[in-house]
A = this chain, B = another copy of it.
Amino acid sequence: MVIFQPSGRRGYVSRGKTIKEASRDLGVDLEGLCGEKATCGKCRVRIEEGVFNKYGIESKMANLTPISEAERKFFNLQQERNGYRLACQARIQGDILVFVPEESRMGKQIVRKAPTDRAIDLKPAVKKYFVELPPATLEEPLGDWERLQSALSEQYGVGNLGIDYQVLFALQGVVRGGDWKVTVSVWMDKEVIKVESGFVEKGYGLAVDIGTTTVAGYLCDLTNGEIVATASMMNPQVVYGEDVMSRISYSMSNKDGLEQMNRAIIDGLNGLISEVALQAGIRGQDILDMTIVANTCMHHIFLNLDPQYIGKAPFTPGIHHSLDIKVRDIGFKVPPEVEMGFDEETAIKEAKRCLNCGVYAQAEGTEGLETRGFGLRISPGAYVHVLPIEAGFVGADNVAVLIAEEPEKQDSMELVVDIGTNGELVLGNRKKLVSSSCATGPAFEGAQIRYGMRAAPGAIEKIEIDPDTRDVRYQVIGRVGWNVDLEAVGAKGICGSGIIDAIAQMFKAGIIQPSGRFNTDLETPRLRKAESGREFVIAWAKETSIGQDIVVCQEDVRAVQLAKGAMYAGARLMMRRLGAEKLDKVILAGAFGSFIDKKSAAVIGLFPDCALENITAVGNAAGDGARIALLNVDKRKQADEIARQVEYIELTLEKDFIKHFTHAMHFPHMKDAFPQLKGILPEQTSG
Contacts and interface: CB of A to CB of B under 8 A. Distances in A.
A650 B138 contact: yes
Contacts of A446: none
Contacts of A163: 319
A306 B173 contact: yes
Contact of A144 (B142, B146, B169, B316): B316
A176 B316 CA distance: 12
A320 B143 contact: yes
A32 interface: no
Interface stretch (A67-75, A307-315, A453-461, A588-596): A307-315
Contact of A314 (B138, B318, B392): B138
A392 B137 CA distance: 12
A271 interface: no
A173 B392 CA distance: 17
Interface in A130-151: 136-147
Interface in A144-172: 144-147, 163, 165-166, 168-169, 171-172
A541 to B, nearest CB: 49
B650 A316 contact: no
B314 A146 contact: no
Contact of A143 (B140, B171, B304, B318): B318
A188 interface: no
A303 interface: yes
A439 to B, nearest CB: 15
B304 A145 contact: no
A325 interface: yes
A172 B309 contact: yes
A669 to B, nearest CB: 27
Nearest to A169: B304
A141 B392 contact: yes
A425 B323 CA distance: 47
Contact of A145 (B138, B172, B320, B325): B320
Interface of A: 136-147, 163, 165-166, 168-169, 171-173, 176, 303-306, 309, 313-321, 323, 325, 329-330, 389, 391-392, 648, 650, 653
B318 A172 contact: yes
A321 B141 contact: no
Nearest to A136: B316
Contact of A165 (B173, B314, B325): B325
B314 A169 contact: no
Nearest to A313: B138
A647 B497 CA distance: 75
Given A165-B325, A392-B141, A172 B320 contact: no
Contacts of A315: 138, 141
Nearest to A304: B169
A316 B142 contact: yes
A314 to B, nearest CB: 4
Given A138-B313, A169-B305, A145 B318 contact: yes
User: A318, A321, A653 — which one has the most chain B CB atoms within 10 A of its CB?
Assistant: A318
A329 B165 contact: yes
Closest 5 CB pairs of A and B: A143-B320, A136-B316, A145-B319, A138-B314, A143-B317
Contacts of A314: 136-141
Contacts of A648: 141
A303 B142 CA distance: 18
A603 to B, nearest CB: 35
Contacts of A313: 138
A332 B298 CA distance: 30
A172 B321 contact: no
Given A136-B314, A138-B313, A165-B329, A143 B306 contact: no
A319 to B, nearest CB: 4
A146 B306 contact: no
Given A136-B314, A168-B303, A319 B144 contact: yes
Contacts of A139: 314
Contact of A146 (B171, B304, B319): B319
